[in-house]
Amino acid sequence: MCRLVKGRVVVAEEKSPRSVVVVGAGMVGLSVAWFLQERGVEVTVVDRAGVAAGASWGNAGWLSPGLAIPLPEPSVLRYGMRSLLDRDAPLYIPTKPDPRLWAFLTKFATHCTMRQWERGMQSYRPINALCLDAFDVLTSNGVEAPTIEAPIMAAFEKAGQADDLRRELELILRSGQEISFTEIPGDKVAAEVPQISSNVELAIRLDGQRYIDPGAFTQSLADAVVARGGRIRTGFTARNLRHGARGVTVEAYAGDPEHADAVVIATGAWLNDLARPLGVRTPVQAGRGYSFTVPTEQTVPCPIYFPATRVACTPYQGQLRVAGTMEFRSPDHPLDTGRVASIIKASRPLLTGVDWSKRTDTWVGPRPVTPDGLPLIGGTRVPSVYIAGGHGMWGVTLGPVTGQLLAEQIVLGKQPAELRAFSPTR
């Protein structure tokens, strides 16, 4: 059977799955579940903790396809080497010996070339072009949490610090990805964003972006999945997969297993344990980010970004969410209050009208980072088992379009062109 999907003819398999278990109740996993339901598939979502319990709750919540780019790049490698000597640097790598972590970082370093970055950009461009439309499909069909259109204001204490972002934007445009931006002198920045202090000499406004309350949006997505007849089962830590007469069985460390015709693994920074036996050789490392919320004297009109210190701020429930740090540690390592103190130290001179003494919602969550900077989306070497993860900092931005395209592959049996570069078995 053939079907026309967005201008391309797709051939369906004779036996499309009627039921799927999705392991992981974050933005990515729930998006896969929702779009599978769009195609008539019965879904069960399982998670070891709960909805948005990993990286989906406390991140900045930016929907920024213009900035969704591969993380490995020559300047990142240089920055990383300098950061090793600075305890307050946004990038934190523990000095304690960890052979697995250093093997990952070595692979990451080999991808920090312009040739690799340009190749990665050509992989991101097609999926980035679809990502906001995927959000619109969700919000037009039962997901009640909104997406909010607003620019991202990138601010610099010293005007010369803007050179790196200018260069990055030029590379993005040269790759064929669209992004619109305007430079604003420091004395005019406060008129647009009153929270940016007079210490800022220059800002670059990135237009055409959006943001969400990521926890609320993910919960609304989960509610929509349940309202359409899906099940969400928490307290389920997946231990193993096996094939049998009932299709694919997902076994748990405790409790009854789940059975379905197919399984999607969307466990974020915990992906390795289940993915390795499936022929997935690309490792995923937790790049942990921190955030907290502070009240402001005035309403925050748009997201704020301080590229020099890698701090991202977002309007959040009438206050300001402040997020930062890339900390390469175990996803389950306890929250490090020193990392929070470093974010405050870097942000205090650049923000005004913020009450730092009333900080709430202090959080740490593990972003799933791959050494080549590309996510893992698609089938594995095991029939009827799929992967959706490894999005790094772009899991919120690309979660819905990942679900949309992977659901197409699962049901119709043909890999969409936009996913070819992200094969989990590459």
Which tens digits make up the pLDDT trace of 242-296?
A: 998 889 999 999 999 999 999 999 999 999 999 999 999 999 999 999 999 999 9
Residue 204 has pLDDT above 50, yes or no: yes
Residue range 121-146, pLDDT digits in tens: 999 999 999 999 999 999 999 999 99
Residue range 381-425, pLDDT digits in tens: 999 999 999 999 999 999 999 999 999 999 999 999 999 999 999
Q: How far apart are the first and last CA of the chain?
A: 29
Residue 80 has pLDDT above 80, yes or no: no
Window from 60-74, 91-105, 161-175, 304-318 with minimum mean pLDDT? 91-105
Residue 274: predicted pLDDT: 96
The token pair at 134 is: 């995927």
Closest by CA to 284, choosing from 231, 328, 240, is 328
- Which amino acid would we find at residue 177? Q
Residue 303 has pLDDT above 60, yes or no: yes
Q: Which CATH superfamily is domain 2-422 in?
A: FAD/NAD(P)-binding domain (3.50.50.60)
**What percent of the chain has pLDDT above 90?**
90
The residue-averaged pLDDT of 184-211 equals: 97
The residue-averaged pLDDT of 82-100 equals: 82
Three-class DSSP labels, the chain: CEEEECCEEEECCCCCCCEEEEECCCHHHHHHHHHHHHCCCEEEEEECCCCCCCCCCCCCCEECHHHCCCCCCHHHHHHHHHHCCCCCCCEECCCCCCHHHHHHHHHHHHCCCHHHHHHHHHHHHHHHHHHHHHHHHHHCCCCCCCCEECCEEEEECCHHHHHHHHHHHHHHHHCCCCCEEEEEEHHHHHHHCCCECCCCCEEEEEECCEECCHHHHHHHHHHHHHHCCCEEEECCCEEEEEEECCEEEEEECCCCCEEECEEEECCHHHHHHHHHHHCCCCCCEEEEEEEEEECECCCCCCCEEECCCCEEEEEECCEEEEEEEEEECCCCCCCCHHHHHHHHHHHHHHECCECHHHCEEEEEEEEEECCCCCCEEEECCCCCEEEEECCHHHHHHHHHHHHHHHHHHHHHCCCCHHHHHHCCCC
The residue-averaged pLDDT of 224-236 equals: 98
Residue range 5-60, pLDDT digits in tens: 344 434 444 489 999 999 999 999 999 999 999 999 999 999 999 999 999 999 99
Window from 10-19, 88-97, 145-154 with minimum mean pLDDT? 10-19
Residue 70 has pLDDT above 60, yes or no: yes
In angstroms, what is the C-alpha Rg of the chain?
A: 21
pLDDT band at 83, cuts 50/70/90? low
Residue range 332-386, pLDDT digits in tens: 999 999 999 999 999 999 999 999 999 999 999 999 999 999 999 999 999 999 9
Residue spans of the domains in the chain: they are 2-422
Spatial separation of the C-alpha atoms in residues 135 and 392, rounded to whole Å? 19
The residue-averaged pLDDT of 103-118 equals: 96
**What percent of the chain has pLDDT above 70?**
95
Per the prediction, the chain carries an average pLDDT of 94
**In the beta sheet, which residues pair with residue 155?**
203
Residue 161 has pLDDT above 90, yes or no: yes
